[in-house]
Amino acid sequence: MSVAVRPLPLDDDRVAARILVIQQAAYRVEAAFIGYASIPPLYDTLEMLRDSGEAFYGAYAGEVLAGFIACELSPQTVSITRLGVHPDYFRRGSGRALLLYVETQVALERPRLAVSTGAKNAPARHLYEQHGFACFNECEVEPGLTMVFYEKWR
């Protein structure tokens, strides 16, 4: 499947609503993987997305928004805050395309990329490790939820 990645305009109601649909579908799958149903993105609203201050980029399969990635930027680091692919598009290259886009088009002069995920989310961990991210910390952030923290230096 050919995937095109481009910035997402959160002020477009249809785009923002599609992001929310993808986020809820993707994070429900993650919640099942990690055995933790209270993942905060499951409870986001359109206003919360718009007010997040994050930059959003979308993976399109033809005309369909199949997935997205969101980042926060600091002078040294691009922090990947969300990565969601609709389950209908799992294992078709959207996640890889999104990570590559951030690394080559967003990070630019920033030497560090950072991301975290649930410790039991094997597919996400595998994706990050395939892309050269190294785990530098693991901790229980609240009872029943252990997170792993990855970084990649360029």
Cβ atoms of residues 154 and 113 within 8 Å: yes
Name which of 30, 108, 92, 100 is nearest 69 in CA terms. Answer: 100
Question: What is the predicted pLDDT for the residue at 75?
Answer: 93
Q: What is the three-class DSSP state of 16?
A: helix
Q: What is the pLDDT of residue 114?
A: 98
pLDDT higher than 90, residue 33:
no
Instruction: Walk me through the domains of the chain, giving residue ranges and CATH numbers.
Output: 4-153 (3.40.630.30)
Report d(CA 41, CA 105) in Å as an integer: 25
> Is 80 a residue whose pLDDT tops 80?
yes
pLDDT of residue 4 exceeding 90, the answer is yes
Of the candidates 69, 60, 144, the one whose C-alpha atom is nearest the C-alpha of residue 104 is: 69
- Over 90: is that where the pLDDT of 95 sits? yes
Residue 1 has pLDDT above 80, yes or no: no
The answer to whether 72 and 113 are in contact (CB under 8 A) is no
